[in-house]
Amino acid sequence: MVTKLSGPRATSKRSKGKNLRPVAHFTVPTWIFLFLTILIPFIYGIYISFLNINLASFLPASFIGFDNYLNVLRAPETWSTFQITLVITFFGLLVQIPLGIILALALHENLRGTKIFRSILITPMLLTPVAVGLTYRFMFDTDLGVVNWMLGLLNIEKVNWLGSQTSALFAIIIVDSWQSIPFVMLLVLAALTAISPSLYEAARVDGASSSQIFRNLTLPLITPTLLVITMIKIMDFLKLFDTLFILTRGGPGNATTTLGLWTYKTGFIFLELSRAAALGVIVAIISLPVYFLWRKASKGVR
Amino acid sequence: MKVRTTFSYLLLASASFLSLFPLFWTISTSIKDRVDTYTLPPKFFNFSPTFKNYHSLFSMDKFWEIYWNSILITFGSTLICLVLGSLAAYAFARKPKFRGRGPLEGLMIAVRALPGIVLLLPIYKLSSYFGLYDSKIALILIYAGFNLPFAIWLLMSFFEQIPIEIEESARVDGASNFRMFTKIILPIAAPGLVATGIFVSLLSWNEFLIPVIMAGENAKTLPVLVASFISNRTLDWGPMAAAATVALVPIVLLTVVIQRWLVAGLSSGAVKE
């Protein structure tokens, strides 16, 4: 890959001495690289979604038109896993955004020790999701887990956390929130820092209470950031894989399988590569509006 | 006002406890004897530490090879991201409009937006066709492709802080673009390069979906090894916690190094600066 460096070097001689800053060609290596690793696979993915490749079969693949799409759209699993994705997304956002805001507000008070608190609170989002998943799986263990032990201290009966749909979804949302709240917190904190302190002073001089200030001043000013966070989080929930894979593998049955995990299972467990590719295209289409809204929303943030 | 301060402290303290407890619990489980792990009430401090779990982890078939794979792939992909990323980020930072900027940014955002599985299905098929399945080189390239946009966004925020006057005086001296970039810009942006390098390394180190699809026995990485513990019928939490700790500790150490850039790095690409 390093050889590609010769590109910009060679062309930069031509522009020598000009007063413009003609550095657009510095993006050429990136273009080539993303073309090979992202764009070609993506287009090839669309192509194979019209074939009938099965990884277990040795028959040559043939073109079957929209059959994969029709099959996928008719399959109840597609819709049930989509529904599960929506449930996780909805409740995940419901937990993560308010808690992220509250923590950001607490950090924004600039109390003594804020820096240490911030470093500690950020830690979860940096940790290997697979290792985090394992840790939580141990903590949620029915007989030996600390979670049930603590509940036992409160005289609550043992819960088989990963054994039923509702509690497993609950556990998944807890683990994802543990890793994602810091992200929400950081972005909100950045938005709060950008608000001019004079606005707060003016509001206080006018006799506004803390809750009034939050509702009428802070909240409207951080709304663009909240929109961006929401878009990013929706995309991340579509991507959710590592912790889900470790915690439940989408089980029991398919009870916690999201659309993304279902695509993986279709391709690499049932070996229906073409059908999985069709699912992949559908997932891409679903994320399309979010993608555009994100681009739009992120321009609204300073 | 006093009540509010107390409340904030209480909130931050309990959130900090919740943030650190799982980490503490993994590490403490990793140095516990089997008997101390499988007992209730859980033993938080009242156990005698042992390194048995690490011993059995390290003596595992191929453990060191897998660890080395993780380091190699992390390092290789980070290097690509830094070289290509700094060039592109510099162009983005210095030239607000040029032909192809829009599409390239769109492509970068698409990488961030699309679930990896969508790209990995065709990548898997293509690489098995070209004999690149289970190859470390292929993994390095794919990791780099997936992380390059992030590197560009982050580096861009560092390049934008470099005053343009520095370049203008160099240009009067007749330095070419590329010379100026390597001799003047990159040294000034060195801390940013280090921070970006560490961030991209973290992403690569933690990556699971790519290797679980693309790696067999030869290119297996640490997260795949850690994950493989749960497919065993008998769950042995001790060695499992040791494996998780071995994956987590380098991260915690690196985090201390990049404390200064943490916030910029973690929110990079989310918001346009």
Give the pLDDT confidence of A154-209 residue by residue, as tens digits: 988 889 999 899 999 999 999 999 999 999 999 999 889 888 888 888 888 888 88
Closest-CA residue to B176 (of A22, A30, A4, A6): A22
* Measured distance CA(B52)–CA(A199) in Å, rounded: 59
> Residue A6: is its pLDDT beyond 50?
no
To the nearest whole angstrom, how far is the Cα of A69 from the nearest Cα of chain B?
15
| Structural domains in chain B, sorted by start | 62-266 (1.10.3720.10)
Task: Flag the least confident range among A166-180, A207-221, B146-160, B164-178.
Answer: B164-178
Among A47, A125, A130, A174, which would you mutate to test the B interface (most chain B Cβ atoms within 10 Å of its Cβ)? A130
To the nearest whole angstrom, how far is the Cα of B117 from the nearest Cα of chain A?
6
To the nearest whole angstrom, how far is the Cα of A298 from the nearest Cα of chain B?
5
Q: Which residue has the tokens 């497993």?
A: A168
For residue A4, the model assigns a pLDDT of: 33
Q: What is the 3-state secondary structure (H, E, C) of B62-111?
A: CHHHHHHHHHHHHHHHHHHHHHHHHHHHHHHHHCCCCCCHHHHHHHHHHH
For residue A22, the model assigns a pLDDT of: 62
> Residue B92: is its pLDDT beyond 50?
yes
**Chain B residues with CB inside 8 Å of A127's CB?**
23, 206, 248, 251
* Measured distance CA(B273)–CA(B257) in Å, rounded: 24
Q: Does B178 touch chain A (CB under 8 A)?
A: yes
φ, ψ for residue A230 (rounded to 5)? -60, -45
Query: pTM of the full predicted structure?
Result: 0.89
Closest-CA residue to B221 (of B158, B138, B98): B138
To the nearest whole angstrom, how far is the Cα of B158 from the nearest Cα of chain A?
17
Please count the other Cβ atoms lying within 10 Å of the Cβ belonging to residue A108.
Answer: 17
pLDDT digits (tens, 9 = 90+) for A46-78: 999 999 988 888 888 889 989 999 999 999 999
**Chain A residues with CB inside 8 Å of B265's CB?**
none
* Measured distance CA(A127)–CA(A129) in Å, rounded: 6
pLDDT digits (tens, 9 = 90+) for A238-260: 999 999 999 999 888 899 999 99
For residue A279, the model assigns a pLDDT of: 95
To the nearest whole angstrom, how far is the Cα of B220 from the nearest Cα of chain A?
14
What's A250's DSSP letter? Answer: T
Chain A residue with minimal CA distance to B256?
Answer: A119
Q: Does B87 touch chain A (CB under 8 A)?
A: yes
Closest-CA residue to B82 (of B144, B25, B36, B137): B144
A247: its two tokens: 């915690």
DSSP string covering B172-224, please?
Answer: HTT--HHHHIIIIIHHHTHHHHHHHHHHHHHHHHH--HHHHHH--SSS--HHH
Across the strands, what pairs with A51? A63
Interchain proximity A26–B227, CB inside 8 Å:
no
Per-residue pLDDT band at B232 (split at 50, 70, 90): low
To the nearest whole angstrom, how far is the Cα of B98 from the nearest Cα of chain A?
6
Among B177, B254, B256, B259, which would you mutate to test the A interface (most chain A Cβ atoms within 10 Å of its Cβ)? B177
To the nearest whole angstrom, how far is the Cα of A185 from the nearest Cα of chain B?
10
For residue B41, whether the previous peptide bond is cis, meaning omega lies within 30 degrees of 0, is yes
For residue B1, the model assigns a pLDDT of: 60
Scanning A31-90 for CB atoms below 8 A from B yields 31, 33-34, 36-42, 44-45, 48, 53
- Considering only CB atoms, B266 lies closest to which of A125, A238, A245, namely A125
- Considering only CB atoms, A242 lies closest to which of B12, B90, B208, namely B208
Span A28-34, mean pLDDT? 94
Scanning A87-126 for CB atoms below 8 A from B yields 102-103, 106-107, 109, 111, 113-114, 117-126
Per-residue pLDDT band at B271 (split at 50, 70, 90): low
Q: Does B153 touch chain A (CB under 8 A)?
A: no
* Measured distance CA(A290)–CA(A302) in Å, rounded: 20
Among B38, B118, B159, B220, which would you mutate to test the A interface (most chain A Cβ atoms within 10 Å of its Cβ)? B118
- Considering only CB atoms, B25 lies closest to which of A13, A36, A139, namely A139
Buried b / exposed e over B91-127, threshold 16 CB at 10 Å, is bbbbbeebeeeeebbebbbbbbbbbbbbbbbbbbbbb
Please count the other Cβ atoms lying within 10 Å of the Cβ belonging to residue A278.
Answer: 29
